[in-house]
Structure 1
Amino acid sequence: MAEDHHEVVVFGAWPSPYSRRIEAALKLKGVPYKYIEEDLGKKSPSLLKYNPIHKKIPVLVHNGKPIAESLVILEYIDETWQEGYPLLMPKDPYQRSLARFWAKFIDDKCMPAILKACWGEEQERERAGEEVAELLKLMEKELKEKRFFGGENIGMVDIAANIIGFSLGAYEEASGVKLMTREKFPKLCNWRDEFMSNSAVIKENAPPREELISFLRNHFRKNNN
């Protein structure tokens, strides 16, 4: 297969924050890669070959060896390419375990609640919105007075939090539901602004906003009909 000839290949989908995480990490690290856009309605034989268990993006293929699941891939990238950009994960074992915890917290708790609040059944939206508020309060508290969750540099938790950094605003606009305001979450809003403007890599890696909003509206309209 053609992609096997490239040292690093990413299988992704442009609207997916999970897919965008991998590209952001590779770009921060200065790692060249080939990107393959997947049609999630008709998954390619290559994607099914490299991720036969979950059959999902993103998948990173490095020298023919596949790695699946975005948080696992981020750690692999960090451990494999240690030159140049500072490590995404803290060196201290305790701090590293905290980074893993908060990254999983974002995926396991925040993302499902956000999706329910925006596009869940009508009776569950209000309850999910309240849950999102409680979860964002915990994120705000964890941020403390730091510039980024990773300290002075964008780290693992910051990249995982791209769901809040650049996806949440599009979700809000597409669904008409407001979940994160500066009045309620000033630190998170400041972090989001810093995250999006600090690095050209992060800014350029965000999906086109209007296209994403249009995609989300169409996607969830189809699914809810």
Structure 2
Amino acid sequence: MPASRNFAPGTILATLPSLPAAPANRASRPAGMSWQGVRADESINRRYLPECDEVGGGLFNYRPILKWDIPAVFEAHRYMGIKPNPLYSQGMGRVGCMPCINCRKDELREIALRFPEVIDRIDRWERITQQASKRGAATFFAGSNTKHPKGSIANMSAVEVMEIASIRQAVEWSKTARGGIQYDLMIATDATACSSAYGLCDSGADGFNDTNVQLGEAA
């Protein structure tokens, strides 16, 4: 039986909210419900989301795991015998995009190490977009999200932008220690080793430590 205080078998079904009665003019319309797997502790904006709200026209958003913590999410996976996305055991904290524009420094480093073809693809995108840019520069990480020690690229020239803020430079920065100046000699270079921000590598806790998978296999 799962031990987490935030997960119990049947939790999702047991807590399905009662929908407000539909107005008479909508009585004949079938209500639709969008199930969203967001959690309150993922961001400030999500912290204040309701568990269920109406979008309009008889459509509702339902967030069944809104109040769950991270251990509860993976405990539910184990209880149901479902393997989480293998990228979670390969250093990724976000798996909806590759990479996410909000990815962490260590996450970008893991992507470059394990999936260099992803960096190659973004490099091509930057070069193609650069040709159509009014400023003559284009970066995947834009504005305040740009991954380099000097901060925003807003007031830089096109040449400066491409010299320090391209995806290639972002990857080099991801290999440095805090401060972005010196390379971190303690960084692991094994592209097959398990690495997880969620503790999935600890004592085989995930039960599926096959981290040597291809990107295309991740769902």
TM-score bracket for the superposition, by shorter chain length: under 0.3
Q: Report the TM-score, using the length of structure 2 for normalisation.
A: 0.25
Structure with max Cα Rg: 2
